[in-house]
Amino acid sequence: MVLGGIISSARGSSSLNVNRLRRIKSASPTGGVMNTSKGVFDMTSSSSSSSSSSSGPTVTDDDGRRWRPCAAAAVLNSKNEMLVGERLGRPGSWQAPQGGINADESVVDAAARELYEEVGLEIGRDILLEEGGGGGPNIVKCRYETEGTGSWLEREGYAGQELRWIVFRCASSMLEIDPVFACDLSGMNGEGPEFASVKWESLDYVVDNVWEGKVVPYRMLKERCVPFVTTRWEGRCANLDLGGWWSRDGTRSVGVVEALVARGLTSEDARRKASEPYVQSWRRHESCRGDWIVATYHDDDAGDNDRPRRELHYPIGEFLESYEGTSTIFGSSGSDGGGGGVVKRRCFYLAESDADDGIAHVTVSETPLGREESLRYVKNGELVLRRTFWRVIAATGTPSSYETDGVVSTEVFVKSQTKI
């Protein structure tokens, strides 16, 4: 967890942090039967032997046919849509990042490396591994033939590829909003580009638009893995317990004064604001379980019939919020600096490694001052609020509108039975 100061949104170094990936424990796949579709085999319970050759690791089946093992990365967003790229030179052909598994790699290592090389995403910064029911990664295996395609695989004597799916979950707000904002398609680690563009799409769309030779592996992912992963994710979203009264413990705030100064406050005003009591109540919306009703109180509201300073509905998705006067967080869109304004906001859920249940509620706001990300999650029975603020530098409404480096602050809220 980032505790304060500056965080960079730049795409990172030119090589993937392999040591970080090696800390991810990979489970051995178990599995299946032959698929009835010609040339495609479900490998969830078949036997085979592995070896290495000059062209990389090789899997040999009981009939002596050689298969090239490869890893494919299924990255899912909060709506369980899949990240796909349009293949260079194949307009209208969309697929997930994938590639061969090196001799010294686990399947997870290989999938993460391909994600970095082909779309510039990193584990921890942009995505997290989606664990299966046993605590290890979700791995779905199948084989598809490439004989008769004239590919290099055929020339090397391979019958085709043994594709192994690894499922990841989006952990970046910019990736969630639009992959174009977060992905680098130039090719990393010295590799050439693979995709012309990227987007989120439903699995139905992906199955209909992937290269014909790979349709069944994608259909198998959709039928064998995604329903379980989707149900699990939706359950986590529904069960995230942010409800109750929360009071900020100002002694544990990190970077709040610096963050307020970045929003235009003087150092004196920022210190005063950071030390003020901050009390909120959260309750679930009665009809939309993913939505929240959030009330914010002044410290003296108890004597004013417990009326909140403001009460907001945080729906999942985009919405507009009006405010009056000058907001510490939003600023003002009025010409005289005090006329209030309207901000575009968006709420969704993201995977969060620091949370007890691996999930966070996120609100992203486009304000006159800049872009504001508020990420909330529960850890050890307390509510952690991590804000990131990117100051506006141009009114274009794109990532280039904001400074590259965001100012990060962290606040901790403790739960109480009453408001004060």
Identify the structural domains of the chain with CATH numbers, from first to last: 11-237 (3.90.79.10), 241-416 (2.40.128.20)
Residue environment code for 70-95, b if the CB has 16+ CB neighbours within 10 A, otherwise e: bbbbbbbbbebbbbbbbbeeeeebbb
Q: What's the start-to-end Cα distance of the chain, in Å?
A: 28
pTM: 0.82
Q: What is the pLDDT along the chain (420 residues), one digit of tens a residue?
A: 233 333 333 334 334 443 333 333 332 333 333 232 333 334 444 445 555 554 568 888 888 899 989 999 999 999 999 999 999 988 988 999 999 999 889 999 999 999 999 999 999 999 999 976 555 566 788 888 877 777 888 888 888 888 899 999 999 999 999 999 999 999 998 899 999 999 999 999 999 988 887 888 999 899 888 888 899 999 999 999 999 999 999 999 999 999 999 999 999 999 999 999 999 999 999 988 899 999 998 664 444 556 788 899 999 999 998 877 666 666 655 555 556 678 899 999 999 999 999 999 999 999 888 999 999 999 999 999 999 999 888 766 666 677 888 999 999 999 986 655
**Do the Cβ atoms of 309 and 301 come closer than 8 Å?**
yes
